[in-house]
């Protein structure tokens, strides 16, 4: 399994979001350079509500677009087995190394879904506070239904759902559960550490552990790649579905998208 090295072109929706946010980004960057040259603290750059809208839309869209590439980096690290010297330096076993990066894969999938919800919240002007954005509030909102975005959000949520138990165990219960394909390897690692006396430790024939580790890791990489590919497709579908709403909500004042009217889009 190899990573694709060809540079992927940006989605048209993402290009549009960048173009609309560019003036604000440039003005803020120019002010930061001036502050540095004048050796003063950076002043708050005055921006209009419309500028904030485009900057936030681009911020979430760009963050979401980058998740598949970050998943690629995780897989790349797993495909290159670290040396024993490196593992000793970072105080990890080979199994710890694999589990560490697999958990990063799971967290990135979860981050993709949360970012997609925040993107919809900003772009559709749902006005849900950023730290209060929840799936049920976004998915059930009339504007999400109006533009038929629930299907795209469900496609991303479906990739996260199988990993929810692991995510809950790690984040909320402090548990570091062992993946099923690595259970035998962990037992062998424990048996080799069982005692200070060499006679009490299990002797594993040369190459056995490396072969088992390689097979288990290869088995793990296949679904990781499939999830990455499915996520890329789901993100592109969401971007395509958001293109028209983005044009509609661009330039609208808050009053025109209130819950009571909104030009037929609420």
Report which of residues 28 and 138 the model is more confident about.
138
Cα 255 to Cα 51, 119, 251, distances in angstroms? 17, 20, 12
43 vs 93: CA distance, rounded Å: 48
- Residue-level pLDDT at 117: 97
32 vs 40: CA distance, rounded Å: 10
pLDDT (tens digit per residue) in 13-30:
999 999 999 988 888 888
127 vs 252: CA distance, rounded Å: 14
230 vs 226: CA distance, rounded Å: 6
- Residue found by looking up tokens 């962990």 in the block: 186
CA-wise closest residue to 157 among 103, 223, 243, 230: 230
Q: 5: which 2 tokens?
A: 């090295």
Q: 137: which 2 tokens?
A: 């509030």
**Do 67 and 115 meet the contact criterion of CB atoms below 8 Å apart?**
yes
122 vs 134: CA distance, rounded Å: 13
pLDDT band at residue 67 using 50, 70 and 90 as cut-offs: very high
For the chain, the domains span 13-251
Measured in whole angstroms, the distance separating CA 90 from the mean position of its chain's CA atoms is 25
Per the confidence metrics, is the pTM higher than 0.75? yes
Report which of residues 64 and 172 the model is more confident about.
64
89 vs 92: CA distance, rounded Å: 8
CA-wise closest residue to 64 among 230, 238, 241: 238
Within the chain, how many helices (H) and strands (E) appear?
Answer: 10, 0
89 vs 108: CA distance, rounded Å: 26
Does 256 score more than 70 pLDDT? no
């Amino acid at each position: 399994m190899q990573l694709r090295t060809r540079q992927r072109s940006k989605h048209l929706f993402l290009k549009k979001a960048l173009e609309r946010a560019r003036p604000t980004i440039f003005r803020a960057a120019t002010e930061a350079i001036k502050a540095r040259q004048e050796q003063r603290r950076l002043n708050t750059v005055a921006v209009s509500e419309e500028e904030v809208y485009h900057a936030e839309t681009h911020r979430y869209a760009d963050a979401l677009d980058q998740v598949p590439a970050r998943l690629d980096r995780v897989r790349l690290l797993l495909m290159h087995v670290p040396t024993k010297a490196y593992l000793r330096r970072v105080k990890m076993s080979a199994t710890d190394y694999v589990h560490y990066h697999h958990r990063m894969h799971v967290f990135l999938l979860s981050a993709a879904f949360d970012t997609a919800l925040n993107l919809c919240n900003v772009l559709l002007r749902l006005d849900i506070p950023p730290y209060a954005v929840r799936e049920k509030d976004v998915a059930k909102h009339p504007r999400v239904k109006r533009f038929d975005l629930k299907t795209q959000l469900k496609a991303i949520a479906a990739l996260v759902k199988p990993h929810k138990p692991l995510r809950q165990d790690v984040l909320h219960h402090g548990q570091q559960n062992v993946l099923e394909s690595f259970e035998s390897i962990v037992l062998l690692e424990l048996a080799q550490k069982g005692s200070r006396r060499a006679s009490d430790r299990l002797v594993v024939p040369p190459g056995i552990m490396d072969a088992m580790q390689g097979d288990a890791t290869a088995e793990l990489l296949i679904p990781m790649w499939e999830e990455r590919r499915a996520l890329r497709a789901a993100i592109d579908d969401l971007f395509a579905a958001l293109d028209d709403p983005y044009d509609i909500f661009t330039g609208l004042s808050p009053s025109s998208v209130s819950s009571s009217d909104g030009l037929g889009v609420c």
